[in-house]
Structure 1
Amino acid sequence: MKKTIFALAMSTVFTLPAYAADYVIDTQKAHAFIDFRIQHLGFSWMSGRFNDFEGTFSYDPENPEASKIDVKIDVASVDTNFAERDKHLREQFLETAEFPDARFTSTNFEQQADGTLLMKGDFTLHGVTRPMIIPVEKVGEGDDPWGGYRVGFQGETSFIIEDYDIDVSKLGPSSQEVFLILSIEGIRQ
């Protein structure tokens, strides 16, 4: 009898349904990244990242289409590992004094047959808001060593700089497209 009760209790524990939860993106311990790359005059690639950003998301593994995300980026935190270039990017291209933040807010998610989620939303940069689609994949989820629960996603997309009223005509035709690489890890609240 005890074995039967124990077996029933254990089967209940292991078949509990997953549920929707809210997460805060873990930027405090550098477990989330927004990286970018762009061609430099057609000769090489310039890579960088935004060091300061924050955001939240909701995720339900049983209903991923109901997910939501909102991320705010401090554009002045651009970091290409070269201070003079970063200053030039802030002042001449990103104009961070006038446009200090960029933001992505999802509008919907679409589950693909291969498990990829198409994250659709509005991306605002340099005072211009345009639709953006980011294919994302879940990296993993589970308990962390500190008593919390985490889930992580990775996605990549690109956009044309001129679509955001940023003049890059001096950089040449090969330097018009920015590639974004997003690595997001959230802590369940």
Structure 2
Amino acid sequence: MSTTISPGELTGTYTLHPAHTRIGFVARHTLSTRVRGQFEDFDGDVQLNGAHPSKSGAHLTIRAASLQTGHRQRDDHLRGAFLDTEKHPAITFTSTGVQPAGDTTYKVTGDLTIRGVTKPVTLAVELTAAETDSMGDFRVQFRGSVTVNRNDWGVNQNAATSILVSPKVTLEFDAIAVRLP
């Protein structure tokens, strides 16, 4: 993070910059391969309070049908049998708490909703940059992840799938958010 930015300068309302944000997942398939994917359509906002991080918060909405793994047949299968995007078009996260874990790291707790099921999760988040860009916009960059058991949200086709695809899925993001005027 830029050393010229004080925590108080971070305070404000931000919106995710979709062209510079990646929201993805990693799951182990069979014995050793990993399937990586990402969501192409999402929006979110962040409320930062640099002086009092515990007063910060975030909300994210992902269009589940925007899932991409680079393999059309697998994508269609994940959208249908796993995520049931016709009945459950959105995946959402709404923070419920932010706690500092270091100088630029945080534990962000919140409610993750997938397939209409809401469960609490705690993300490990790192603030990696904060600066004014060449257009005069103030930006912050975060990255983070959480590992979840997809079965807790009913993201499971059948018992055979549990053998082929690990129930543990890492949700990860690398995001740039631009402060609103």
TM-score of the aligned structures, taking structure 2 as reference length: 0.90
Aligned runs of 1:1-189 on 2, under 5 Å?
17-18=8-9, 20-27=11-18, 30-113=19-102, 115-168=104-157, 169-173=159-163, 175-189=166-180
The question of whether the paired residues in 2 share the 8 Å contact of 1:38 and 1:177 is answered with yes
Q: Secondary structure at the match of 2:136?
A: coil
Q: CA deviation at 1:15?
A: 8.5
Tell me the amino acid that sits aligned with residue 96 of structure 1.
T
Aligned partners of 2:173, 2:166: CA distance in 1, in Å?
A: 20
Aligned residues: 174
**Cα displacement string for residues 46-90 of structure 1 (whole angstroms, at most 9, x for unaligned residues):** 110011110001112222111110000000000000111101111
RMSD: 1.8
Q: CA deviation at 1:38?
A: 0.3
Change in CA separation of 1:167 and 1:187 when aligned onto 2, cut-off 3 Å: same
- Percentage of identical aligned residues: 30
Q: CA deviation at 1:155?
A: 0.4
The question of whether the paired residues in 2 share the 8 Å contact of 1:41 and 1:171 is answered with no
**Cα displacement string for residues 100-142 of structure 1 (whole angstroms, at most 9, x for unaligned residues):** 0000000010112454210000000011000010010101111
1:8 is matched with which residue?
none
TM-score of the aligned structures, taking structure 1 as reference length: 0.86
Tell me the amino acid that sits aligned with residue 98 of structure 1.
K
The structure with higher relative contact order (CA 8 Å, sep 6+) is 2
Q: CA deviation at 1:158?
A: 0.9
The question of whether the paired residues in 2 share the 8 Å contact of 1:42 and 1:175 is answered with no
Gaps of 5+ in 1: 1-13
Q: Secondary structure at the match of 1:118?
A: strand
**Cα displacement string for residues 139-177 of structure 1 (whole angstroms, at most 9, x for unaligned residues):** 111101112110111101111011001224322346111
Change in CA separation of 1:135 and 1:46 when aligned onto 2, cut-off 3 Å: same
Aligned partners of 2:57, 2:152: CA distance in 1, in Å?
A: 25
More divergent stretch after superposition (58-67 vs 48-57): 58-67
Gaps of 5+ in 2: none
Q: Secondary structure at the match of 2:125?
A: strand
More divergent stretch after superposition (82-91 vs 57-66): 57-66
